[in-house]
Amino acid sequence: MASPFDPQREDLFTFGLWTVGNRGRDPFGEPVRPVPDPHHLVRRLAELGAHGVNLHDDDLVPPGASAAERDRIVREFRRTLRDTGMQVPMATTNLFGHPAFKDGAFTSNDPRVRAFALQKTLRAIDLGAELGAGIYVFWGGREGSEADACRDPRAALQRLRWALDFLCGYVLDQGYGLRFALEAKPNEPRGDIYLPTTGHMLHFITTLQHHEMVGVNPEVAHEVMAGLSFPHCVAQAMAAGKLFHVDLNAQKIGRYDQDLRFGSEDQKGALLLVRLLEGTCGGGRYTGPRHFDAHAYRSEDEAGVWEFAKGCMRTYKILAHKARGFDADPEVRALLAEQHDPRLDPLLAGGNSREVAEALRGVSIDADALGRRGLGYERLDQLLVEHLLGVRG
Ligand code: GLT
Ligand code: MN
Ligand code: MN
């Protein structure tokens, strides 16, 4: 039976081939699911109402494939995309799997490793452009250290900057319509990864030559691993005009990178995130793909994988519905109504001047009365919880 929460193409839901194709291998156990067929994954995702698939170079073209083999694989994949109406909005490079990357790719001390990383990325950018991707993600999972004396972290940042400047230049030279999105993570697989949070990335971007074509791809799990508020991180990226892409999943704090089904943990955080992305609280709406960078529990067979995929999309839509209900609730609106003070509004709105500073000094404010005043946030938060639990709205 049709449900208003059934995913539709226009919801812009996407999955990585590596997510629904995840074989359930972990550091302690072998794969539990068979090698996936990318064509099958695309067809099933299309049937479920997804908008597209994202991929690493190696997810589609096996490393070491000949040029002819590569062209055949890409041609056949494009045919499946055409037949199913699926898009490839984002592409990326696997710069973490090959043993050569054990001490980083773009930040490695060895120029041969850095050159190999660039060669691989140039080929993967060509592939992404050929498949019509608009966003190219960089997740520097191996760009970090355990024996931290191995390099000056400033040298690592400089190498990373050089690589991104070089690759931006390549994209511009080729006339590809690609923009870059940098994805932060604090640790795993390295002990410490450079630029560990989205906030670090946002600053780093300002130091790049082509900073206008570089934004961020924050991931729920990664900021939660760092103990941070994901909605705050996304809000800062949105405010800076830098939310180019987003990796949705779920994570328990204090764990390894779990990449759980979206909304399966911390439903309040997930609701606040969807509220931001959908713009139900005002402010802009995020218009890019809603990408699920997550995978099914290791307990699952293929049927469980599709339950997982449906669950990600369905929960997003349910939370969007809840967010709209919450922000339209008259009691919530009253609690959140903007406060005004005719004496202060003109002083706080404009910029600084000698007169404004002087006028501000002269305003009398009863700070003790402000300190005694209740703000009603217990009620506000309870309303949020009641919307979430389905007894209101
Ligand atoms: C890897 C990682 C993700 C990144 C992917 C892009 S690969 O699965 O855990 O967070 O987004 O390289
Ligand atoms: Mn990710
Ligand atoms: Mn992750």
What pLDDT, in 10s, does the model give residues 309-352? 999 999 999 999 999 999 999 999 999 999 999 999 999 997 88
Q: Separation of 176 CA from ligand 2 center, angstroms?
A: 23
Q: Separation of 21 CA from ligand 3 center, angstroms?
A: 15
Nearest CA to ligand 1 atom 12: 139
Order of all β-strands in the sheet with 13-16: 214-216, 179-183, 135-139, 90-92, 52-56, 13-16, 290-292, 247-248
Atom of ligand 1 nearest to the CA of 221: 10
Q: Of 14, 18, 20, 95, which is best to mutate to test ligand 1, by the most ligand atoms within 8 angstroms of its C-beta?
A: 18
Delineate the domains of the chain, giving CATH numbers in brackets: 9-318 (3.20.20.150), 330-389 (no CATH)
Q: Does residue 56 have an active-site annotation?
A: yes
What pLDDT, in 10s, does the model give residues 201-240? 999 999 999 999 999 999 999 999 999 999 999 999 999 9
Q: Does residue 301 have an active-site annotation?
A: no
Q: What is the DSSP letter of 262?
A: T
What's the pLDDT at 187?
98
376-383 contacts at long range (C-beta below 8 A, 24 or more positions apart) = 376/335, 379/331, 379/335, 380/332, 380/335, 380/336, 383/326, 383/329, 383/331, 383/332, 383/335
Q: Separation of 219 CA from ligand 1 center, angstroms?
A: 9
d(CA 146, CA 161): 21
Q: Of 139, 217, 246, which is best to mutate to test ligand 1, by the most ligand atoms within 8 angstroms of its C-beta?
A: 139
Q: Separation of 325 CA from ligand 3 center, angstroms?
A: 30
Atom of ligand 1 nearest to the CA of 259: 9
What's the pLDDT at 27?
96
Which residue ranges have their beta carbon within 6 Å of ligand 1?
18, 56, 92, 137, 139, 183, 219, 247, 293
Q: Which ligand is nearest to the CA of 96?
A: 1
What's the pLDDT at 263?
98
What's the pLDDT at 393?
81
d(CA 78, CA 42): 11
Q: What residues in the chain have per-residue pLDDT under 70?
A: none
